[in-house]
Structure 1
Amino acid sequence: MAASTRERALEAAVELLGAEGVRALSHARVDERAGLPAGSTSNWFRTRRALLGGVVDWIAERERAELDPAGAPAISGPDDLVDALCAGIVLQTGPFATRTRARYALFLELAGDPELGRPLRHQRQEFERWTERVVTDIGIPDPAPATRALMALADGLLLHRLTVDPDLDLRPAVERAVRALAGA
């Protein structure tokens, strides 16, 4: 089934954001990138703010669908957690790199707009809650600060792979952090 005009516009908007940043986002550029007739994107999103909101919602929806913890392998110990974190970072900096760049661009752009950035922050909080449950379940002491440390490490590794070294070997840093937090 062919993607709807709305879907094509949102996919193109994410590509623009991920490749060229927030300043590149305009209705006309989205139409052009999506191969849509002029004015198509503005039929769905009348203002730039509405377009930004649509992109934020679209990214959050995709991430919820694709990163559903219910479908993930069970994590029963530190080694499984290392594997899961590394796999997630590889996905976000590989097949989903454009979307990850777009998400970071939106986080920065919308830092002063709590309403518009809410879906992205909510998605982030859901992932933090899931991570804290996993950290708790595998017996890592002080789960809340341990989770914050792992999330900060993951953010740093994501940014490093997206901006400096796309082939960075993640495992040594993730393994060292998880083992230190687990007290092993």
Structure 2
Amino acid sequence: MATTRDRALEAAVRLVGEQGVRALTHARVDADAELPRGSTSNWFRTRDALVAGVVLWIAEHERADMDAAMAPAATPDEVIDVMERMIEDATGRNAVRTRARYALFFEANAAPGAQPTMTAQRSIFVEWTRDRLRMLGAPDPETSAPAVLTTCAGIIVNRLTVAPGLPIRPTLEFVVRAALDGS
């Protein structure tokens, strides 16, 4: 059974992912999680603390998903397969969580304590991508890894907003192969 804290965080992610950052209040989290009034503020005294808690919860869950998805990938097709699955998950079964993460990117400026968590989370994927590109012989993995990741972020934003059916693989193949060719 989920703890009161877990229920509050799950509700907070759902609220932000479905209704935006303005929906993130202690009272709304309590109501959505069906907790007694004041429960969320017992765990997170301020809104900044609540934002930081939500960011950490998202990071922990995304990290678990990444650890499971980031299987060894030794060929360009395997790297593309991993990235495609991760984007599919981020825009499919985990779309609410992804929307919450994107909304909180901007809120992190108002909650500076959340920034290190976001930076650490991103660095895991940057490192994995850079290492895969280096292993596959990319001439400049330091430059090409951010290009690949920026493309992934663009696909995610497009699928969550204006193009839900946007094909993932053709764009990933293009950018990964260009990174490997040095084009």
State the TM-score bracket (shorter-chain normalisation): over 0.9
1:37-75 CA-to-partner distances (Å, cap 9, x unmatched) read: 111111111111111111111111112222116x63321
After alignment, is 77-86 or 4-13 more displaced? 77-86
1:142 is aligned to 2:129? no
Counterpart residue type for residue 151 of structure 1: L
Q: Distance in 2 between matches of 1:179 and 1:27?
A: 47
1:16-55 CA-to-partner distances (Å, cap 9, x unmatched) read: 1111111110001001111111111111111111111111
- Distance apart, 1:112 and its partner CA: 5.4
- Distance apart, 1:152 and its partner CA: 0.6
Which residue in the other structure is 1:43 paired with? Answer: 42
Which residue in the other structure is 1:33 paired with? Answer: 32
CA 1:118–1:19 in structure 2 vs 1: closer, same or farther (change >3 Å)? Answer: same
Q: Distance in 2 between matches of 1:177 and 1:53?
A: 33
Count of residue correspondences: 182
- Distance apart, 1:115 and its partner CA: 2.9
TM-score (norm 1): 0.93
The 8 Å contact of residues 15 and 23 in structure 2, kept in 1 or not, is answered as yes
Counterpart residue type for residue 35 of structure 1: E
CA-atom RMSD in angstroms: 1.5
Out of 104, 124, 127, the residue aligned to residue 125 of structure 2 is: 127
Overall identity of the aligned pairs, in %: 49
Q: Which runs of 4+ in 1 moved over 6 A?
A: none
Q: Distance in 2 between matches of 1:112 and 1:35?
A: 27
TM-score (norm 2): 0.94
Which residue in the other structure is 1:174 paired with? Answer: 172
Q: Distance in 1 between matches of 2:12 and 2:74?
A: 39
